Amino acid sequence: MSQIDYDISLTGGPPSAQNLAQKAGTFIGILGLFILLLAGFNLDFPNKGVWLTISLSSIATGIILYSKGLYGNKQAGIKNDSLWFNSISSRGALGWMAGIFLTSFYVVLYFFPQFLGLNAEGENGGLISLFDPLSKVLSGNPASQWFVYGTLYTVAILFFGIKFIWKYRHNSYQRIRTISVMFFQTAFAFLIPEFMARLNENDGFNLPYYDLKSIWPLNYYVFDQWSVDGLISSGNLGLGMLVFGILSIFVITPVLTYKYGKRWYCSWVCGCGGLAETAGDSFRQLSDKSVFAWKVERWVIHSVLVFSVVMTTALISTYLGYDPSKYWLTKDVFLLLVGVLLSAVFLLIVIFKRAEMKKDAIVGASAYMIVILSLFGIHFFAGKQLFFFDANDLRSTYGFLIGSVFSGVIGTGFYPIFGNRVWCRFGCPMAAILGLQQRFFSRFRITTNGGQCISCGNCSTYCEMGIDVKYYAQKGQNIVRSSCVGCGICSAVCPRGVLKLENGSDHGATRYTENPITFGNDGIKLNV
């Protein structure tokens, strides 16, 4: 197929020709971005509120117009035509350009916010000052780089969400799921924290920025001293939020994951997932499906999990006291509780799921050992040390490596190169916990429909998590993989109705028994 001409212009001939609406949409959208870029280069706009409105509504209009051009004149159904011919969605020149642009944006955002115009001392300038009017309306405070980011993030999820719904309008699961991520982003990640900042104008309120749906360990700063102090010092509301945060980890998450799999969070609620599913949808086919990538995934994501557990434990223990008469939760009680909890999880898996673990058991046990040894370390090393590391250094290293570089620069900046779920697949410690549970203690699985699979490869190609879905489907085996976020696209793109996301009642190995002989071949009976 070397004859296909890869087309890098936005306005080429078939098969990637764009119609008028798409061209107009691209133009208007880029115009909106251009205003932001001008502000970024310190062009001082007079009526900032007006220009911000013009910019954001241009971006929104651009995306909607583009979607209308792309899907509006077509019947409901799967819309993946020319995806691998288009430069942007097939790692062509446009894809690389977009990747470099996004990556640079993240580098500036995380490490050089002054270039965006951040000024903690006095008036903001540049891009950030353009967002001041909106920030003042919502929280009463001037904007920060995080407000700029949050606003653009929410705009992206909302309007690329509309594009996504348009694309999959024949599929109720996709429609409802997308409305859900749009809602959680707008309400929980964007508006509620801003209104919480309003509350801080009152006496007795000292609430930190807190996105209630962002659960530890994805939200690695929720147990930072400033965050916990802020919550505790903000009356019953603050305390309630802290309790909710802890309940989310120990009650809400396990219950929902048991019933529905990790999808309830990763592809219905989470903001990272929300962006991946909407703005990142055009890149889902770029995920690496090789066995090697799967191996790397398991090592990296679980290492991040261990890192985050140790880091958080060390960090919390630094601000807990030693004297039980002052407060029952002392450093030693806390370490003991963590140790008991981890031992319980470890024993539960070893006792009940030993047969399914195989080689992974050794790796899992080693990780467990590292964490337990670290607990001893925290106990014996006085003060803020964990062995030879300062707990706060550990925390800032984690924040830099995992929170900024991994989840932002690589995770989102590289959408057009590595696909839209790099962070969720390789890095997110929350996904690691949910995945562990989904694999061992959940009713969720993707079932396959008898012998109907034709091994066409659509499911694997469009799996954003890099799962080789057809590997299972073609032998009539259910898909039970810890990384599956339950987005449901494999089921949507299947041309033969083979895949179905289900919350079944069966447990253990029957969830994924192999069927080596094609269902419908009655001539061969195997004792398997």
Partner 1 sequence: MKQIVIIGNGISGVTAARHIRKNSTHRITIISAETKHFFSRTALMYVYMGHMNYEHIKPYADDFWVKNNIELLFDYVNHIDSDQKKLVLQSSESLHYDQLIIACGSKPNKFGWKGQDLKGVQGLYSWQDLEQMEENTKGIQSAVIVGGGLIGVEMAEMLLSRGIKVIFLVREKRFWGSVLPKEEGELISRHISSHGVDLRFETELESIEADVSGKVNHILTKNGEKIDCQFVGLTVGVSPNIEFLKNSPIQTDRGVMVNEYLQTNVEDVYAIGDCAQFNRHPTGRKNIEQVWYTGKMMGETVAQSICHQPTPYTPGVWFNSAKFFDIEYQTYGWVWAEKKENEESLYWEDSNGKKCIKLIYDKSTFDFLGVNVFGIRFNHRILDEWIKQEKDIHDVVRNLHQANFDPEFFQNNFKVIQKFLDSQLEEKKTAYVSN
CB of 499 to partner 1, least distance (A): 9
Q: What are phi and psi of 386, to 5 degrees?
A: -120, 110
Between CA 44 and CA 263 the distance in angstroms is: 44
If the CB atoms of residues 352 and 519 are measured against partner 1, the closer one turns out to be: 519
Which residues touch 371 (CB under 8 Å, ≥6 apart)?
Answer: 306, 309, 310, 313, 342
User: Mapping DSSP to helix (H, G, I), strand (E, B) and coil, where does residue 186 land?
Assistant: helix
CB of 95 to partner 1, least distance (A): 15
Which residues touch 429 (CB under 8 Å, ≥6 apart)?
Answer: 217, 218, 220, 301, 304, 305, 307, 308, 309, 402
Q: What are phi and psi of 389, to 5 degrees?
A: -105, 145
One-letter amino acid of 488: G
Burial of 61 per CB tally in 10 Å (0-12, 13-18, 19+)? middle
Between CA 245 and CA 242 the distance in angstroms is: 5
If the CB atoms of residues 4 and 50 are measured against partner 1, the closer one turns out to be: 4
CB of 524 to partner 1, least distance (A): 6
User: Mapping DSSP to helix (H, G, I), strand (E, B) and coil, where does residue 375 land?
Assistant: helix
CB of 89 to partner 1, least distance (A): 9
If the CB atoms of residues 132 and 468 are measured against partner 1, the closer one turns out to be: 468
User: Mapping DSSP to helix (H, G, I), strand (E, B) and coil, where does residue 441 land?
Assistant: coil
375 Rama sector, left if φ>0, alpha if ψ -120 to 50, beta otherwise = alpha
CB of 493 to partner 1, least distance (A): 8
CB of 449 to partner 1, least distance (A): 5
If the CB atoms of residues 330 and 503 are measured against partner 1, the closer one turns out to be: 503
CB of 363 to partner 1, least distance (A): 22
**475: nearest Cα among 496, 502, 450, 492:** 450
If the CB atoms of residues 304 and 499 are measured against partner 1, the closer one turns out to be: 499
If the CB atoms of residues 207 and 494 are measured against partner 1, the closer one turns out to be: 494
If the CB atoms of residues 407 and 461 are measured against partner 1, the closer one turns out to be: 461
- CB burial of 276-293 (b: ≥16 within 10 Å; e: otherwise) equals bbbbbbbbbbbbebeeee
If the CB atoms of residues 304 and 489 are measured against partner 1, the closer one turns out to be: 489
CB of 173 to partner 1, least distance (A): 5
If the CB atoms of residues 20 and 120 are measured against partner 1, the closer one turns out to be: 20
CB of 495 to partner 1, least distance (A): 4
Identify the residue whose tokens are 């309400």. Answer: 187
Q: Which residues bind partner 1 (CB under 8 A)?
A: 1, 3-4, 14-17, 75-78, 80-86, 170-173, 176, 290-291, 449-452, 454-458, 460-461, 468, 470, 474, 488, 491-492, 495-497, 500-502, 516-524
Q: Which two tokens stand for residue 356?
A: 């399914």
CB of 455 to partner 1, least distance (A): 4
If the CB atoms of residues 80 and 233 are measured against partner 1, the closer one turns out to be: 80
**508: nearest Cα among 353, 360, 357:** 353
If the CB atoms of residues 81 and 506 are measured against partner 1, the closer one turns out to be: 81
Q: Are 85 and 15 in contact (CB under 8 A)?
A: yes
CB of 497 to partner 1, least distance (A): 4
**How far is CA 53 from each of CA 48, 190, 206, 286, 322, rounded to the nearest angstrom?**
8, 17, 31, 34, 54
Q: Which two tokens stand for residue 135?
A: 């920030």
